[in-house]
Amino acid sequence: MGNDVCVVIEHLRGQVSDISYVMLAAARGLAESSGGKVLAILLGHGAQDLAQDLLADEVLYADHPELTDFTPDAYEAVLVQLLGEKQPRAILLGHTSIGTDVAGTLSVRLKLPLVSSCRQITSDGKYVSQICGGKIMAEGELPVPASVVTMTPGGYKPEQGRGSARPEVTAIQPPPLTPMRTKLAKYIEPAGGDVDISKESLLIAVGRGIQNQDNISLAEELAKTLGGVVCGSRPVVDQAWLASSRLVGKSGKHVKPKIYLALGISGAPEHTEAISDSDVIIAVNTDPSAPIFDIARYGAEADILDVLPSLTEQIKQLRG
């Protein structure tokens, strides 16, 4: 196995995802300590321009019509061939709906261990992963001689992985890519007709602590009184208590309001990565160890079902 660190670049509909730059930043430290290079792997069709600001020593670019959009099968086929030849120290993929589709099968086919939910790779070659809904950090030696790693945001800023000079791009020949067992049929755009929570300045966000659908009205009443919009975390939307257009999180919207009032939300990494650009986060939760309190400016250890009615009532009185 070699010393290079390979980063599988994620892009969606013509845009490189921030996680790609995060991974390039993580790869730099490891490559320096192992004496290798950072190799960005870009798969696409007519997508060479996406390489222009990748902070990599070299970009390996595979161009094929079957790579126009992400499909697990096509990515797996190219990556198994390429990485089998390159034998890098580590292969970084996003801990995302793209990266995790490939990471497991890749690790099995290349017979390499897999480290998931990795937030940071230390200069002495340790992985640091955040698990258990953000409540536990686990660390250990990044397996040698090589391993597959899926990375989460939070440990590095995307700017650390952006370069000002266009990197050297080397074309690689993908293997035959037909027939594929997974094929993209179409994209389905998010449903319109609802408010765009990513543009709202005051969000009243509810999580599991809201307990049932009837209690959503408590949040709606506060939003109406205060002048905000109700949104929610994954469990609330999965229960169909709120429309999917109101989902904040990894699969939902990334928001950047002036105030994000997190009610009964624990603060799992899948949620917090989508609210980190908020100006002020205020959290109310019964669990004093909830990770949301580590990113909130203000917090209260309390039951939202007690606080919500009182808050709405006091605002009503204030407004006469």
Q: Which of positions 18-37 make contact with other proteins (CB under 8 A)?
A: none
Instruction: Write each residue from 49 to 88 as x if it is in contact with other proteins (CB under 8 A), else as -, in one continuous string.
Output: --------------------xxxxx---------------
- Residue 278 found at the interface with other proteins (CB under 8 A): no
Q: What's the CA gap between 173 and 83, in Å, rounded?
A: 13
Q: What's the CA gap between 243 and 232, in Å, rounded?
A: 9
- Residue 253 found at the interface with other proteins (CB under 8 A): yes
Please name the helix (run of DSSP H) or strand (run of DSSP E) that holds residue 11, with its range, or none.
strand 11-12
- Residue 257 found at the interface with other proteins (CB under 8 A): no
Q: Which amino acid is at 136?
A: I
Provide, rounded to whole angstroms, the least separation between the CB of residue 170 and other proteins.
28
DSSP label of 218: H
Tokens for 127? 């992985």
Provide, rounded to whole angstroms, the least separation between the CB of residue 58 and other proteins.
28
Q: Which of positions 110-139 make contact with other proteins (CB under 8 A)?
A: 113-117, 126, 129-139
- Residue 256 found at the interface with other proteins (CB under 8 A): no
Nearest alpha-carbon partner for 263 in 226, 224, 290: 290
The span of 60-68, 140-148, 156-164, 167-175 binding other proteins (CB under 8 A) equals: 140-148
The span of 60-68, 83-91, 160-168, 243-251 binding other proteins (CB under 8 A) equals: 243-251
CA terminus-to-terminus distance, the chain: 72
Q: Which of positions 185-224 make contact with other proteins (CB under 8 A)?
A: 185-191, 202
The span of 20-28, 48-56, 159-167, 292-300 binding other proteins (CB under 8 A) equals: 292-300
Among 56, 250, 271, 278, binds other proteins (CB under 8 A): 250
Among 1, 171, 184, 195, binds other proteins (CB under 8 A): 184
Give the nearer residue to other proteins in terms of CB position, either 28 or 234.
234
Give the nearer residue to other proteins in terms of CB position, either 38 or 281.
281
Q: What's the CA gap between 250 and 229, in Å, rounded?
A: 19
Does residue 266 contact residue 287 with C-beta atoms inside 8 Å? yes
Please name the helix (run of DSSP H) or strand (run of DSSP E) that holds residue 126, with its range, or none.
strand 126-131
Burial class (CB in 10 A: 0-12, 13-18, 19+), 134: buried
Q: What is the dihedral angle through the alpha carbons of 282, 284, 287, 293, rounded to the nearest 10 degrees?
A: 0
- Residue 15 found at the interface with other proteins (CB under 8 A): no
- Residue 227 found at the interface with other proteins (CB under 8 A): yes
Provide, rounded to whole angstroms, the least separation between the CB of residue 113 and other proteins.
4
- Residue 272 found at the interface with other proteins (CB under 8 A): no
Provide, rounded to whole angstroms, the least separation between the CB of residue 26 and other proteins.
17
Burial class (CB in 10 A: 0-12, 13-18, 19+), 33: middle
- Residue 108 found at the interface with other proteins (CB under 8 A): yes
Burial 38-73 (b: 16+ CB within 10 A, else e): bbbbbbbeebeebbebbbbbbbbbbbbebbeebbbb
- Residue 298 found at the interface with other proteins (CB under 8 A): yes
